[in-house]
Each structure stands twice: as C-alpha cells, then as structure tokens.
Amino acid sequence: MCRVVDVRQAVLARNDGLAAGLRRELDGRGITAVNLLSSPGSGKTALLELLLARAAGRGVPAAALTADLATENDARRLARSGAPVKQVLTGGLCHLEAAQMRGHLEGWPPEGTRVLFVENVGNLVCPAAYDLGEALRVVLMSVTEGEDKPVKYPTAFGLANLVVLSKTDIGGAAGFDGDAFAESVERVNPGVEVLHTSARTGQGVDALLDRVLAVCEGSRPHRPPLAGRHLREHRHEHGHEHPRDHPRDHEHPHAHPGGPGALPGAGLPAR
C-alpha cells in the first residue's frame, strides 16, 4: 500500500514541476489559463459557450481546450463561437495532466490569445489533484447536485479560486437551499467568492468574465502553484486528505476536514 502511495506522490510531484514550467511559459506568452472543474453535466460547456461569445464581444481574444473521455461533442459546441478550440481525448483517463497540456499548447493557441479556458474532464475527484499551470481555478456545481457537495469533495472545492453555482434558473424547481450550500462552501474554503450563473438566462456570465479579466490584467493575484504539493502532503492510503498533524496509522472512521466535528477548512491551504 505504501508503495502505491509513493508512486502516486511521485506522479503528482512530476506534474507539479511541469505545471510550474507551463505557468511560466503561459505567462511569457501573455496567456491566462482558467481551469474549469465540475462533475459531469454541471454546465461547463454551456457556460463556456457564453464566455467565449462575450469575450469576443469585448474584443478579448480567447480560446478553449476541452477534455473528454471519448467524444468531440464539446469542441463542436464551442467552435460555434468562432474562437480557436481544441478537443483533447483522454482515452479513458479521468483528468487532464500538465504533460498533456504542454503537448497541446505547442504552437497553439494563436499568438495574441489572452485567455485560455480549459474544460477539464467531468469529475470532482481526479482533476482536483492536477495543477495544469492555470492562473485561476473555477469549480462549478449545479443546483441539482446537492448542497453538501463542497464538504463531500473538499479537495476540489477547497482549492478553488472561485466557486460557481450553475443552473440557477432551475434552483426553485430543484428546491435548492442556498444557505446550506453557502455554509458547505465556507467550511472547506472560507471566504472564497461564489458566483451564481445560468446559461439559460445569462445570469452571472459577465461577472465571471470580469473576474477572469481581472486576473489577466494583474489586478487579482495569480493562483499559487499549490494543488499537487498540498495533496502530496495530505493524501493517505485511502485517498482522503487530512490535517497536517493527522496520525497516519489511524482507523478510518473519524471526522475529516469539513466533516462533522472538524475545524472549518482544516487541512486545506490558504488560497
């Protein structure tokens, strides 16, 4: 079991190194990368369709790289905006890695691109561990997924620079409890900004684009290269994260970060 953990940590350490290089490279090319994470179907592509169109409307050159296990459906949808779009087929892999990104960014996107949106594979577990050299990590959750998802997926939500609640147009029909959701987010990522969006009504899309452009313009700090390192420090044999001082040889049933009895945000890094 220890050997499995060692191998996994080595993979993450290698990814961290590549991501750091990629971040510098993208900075040098004047490109701000935005990593979009969510479970399948939360509305990443729908939101990106609008973001690309509105970026074009504001004269901001933007591109999108979208990852999928098996289809090119999302690239087809995004290409309708007229923006440069690339589909990455992961061939069954549940996340994107910095090495794959680097391969796809040779000579692409075109010179002058300012924002590169990266739609990760729909999954709230695997992609959270992999830094892609992004300047901003946005984690989405839709109103039909359950208010407790942030505490159930503390790594994904805890490492977000920005949380998006999507499909707010159907929040009423879904009986969504906004207070419970806000509390759940606050427990794993205190103080993180939460934007409400709807790809149907357009709610929140301009606000989200504003946040992205603020990072581009340097008026908001870039994301620190933290994901892999944090996870290496806190990952256990059974795949959960724990506070730094947590005993490694414990029995499993106990409070996890963000779980019952845990300190708010315990074990998760500052943004």
Ligand X SMILES: Nc1nc2c(ncn2[C@@H]2O[C@H](COP(=O)(O)OP(=O)(O)OP(=O)(O)O)[C@@H](O)[C@H]2O)c(=O)[nH]1
The reply to whether 42 sits near Mg ion by the rule CB under 5 A is: no
Q: Which H or E element spans position 212?
A: helix 205-216
- Please tell me what DSSP assigns to residue 33: E
Q: Which stretch in 38-46, 107-115, 227-235, 254-262 sits in contact with Mg ion by CB under 5 A?
A: 38-46
The closest alpha carbon to 45, from 19, 81, 70, belongs to 81
| Helix, strand, coil fractions of the chain, as percent rounded to 5 | 40, 15, 45
For residue 228, is it left (φ>0), alpha (ψ between -120 and 50) or beta? alpha
- Residue 42 or 189: the one with the smaller Cβ distance to ligand X is 42
The reply to whether 74 sits near Mg ion by the rule CB under 5 A is: yes
Whole-number minimum distance, CB 74 to Mg ion, in Å?
A: 4
Q: Which stretch in 15-23, 26-34, 73-81, 184-192 sits in contact with Mg ion by CB under 5 A?
A: 73-81
Whole-number minimum distance, CB 50 to ligand X, in Å?
A: 9
The reply to whether 49 sits near Mg ion by the rule CB under 5 A is: no
- With CB cut-offs between 5 and 8 Å by kind, which of Mg ion, ligand X, none does residue 27 bind? none
CA 178 to chain CA mean position, Å: 21
- Residue 50 or 262: the one with the smaller Cβ distance to Mg ion is 50
- With CB cut-offs between 5 and 8 Å by kind, which of Mg ion, ligand X, none does residue 189 bind? none
The reply to whether 45 sits near Mg ion by the rule CB under 5 A is: yes
The reply to whether 131 sits near Mg ion by the rule CB under 5 A is: no
Distance CA 148, CA 214 (A): 30
Whole-number minimum distance, CB 37 to Mg ion, in Å?
A: 11
Distance CA 26, CA 180 (A): 38
> Which residues, in sequence order, are bridge partners of residue 87?
66
The closest alpha carbon to 57, from 215, 213, 163, 216, belongs to 213
- Residue 83 or 268: the one with the smaller Cβ distance to Mg ion is 83
- Where on the chain is the footprint of ligand X (CB under 6 A)? 38, 40-46, 74, 122, 166-167, 169-170, 198-200
- Please, are residues 160 and 190 in contact by the beta-carbon 8 Å criterion? no
The reply to whether 87 sits near Mg ion by the rule CB under 5 A is: no
**Residues interacting with Mg ion, by CB under 5 A?**
44-45, 74
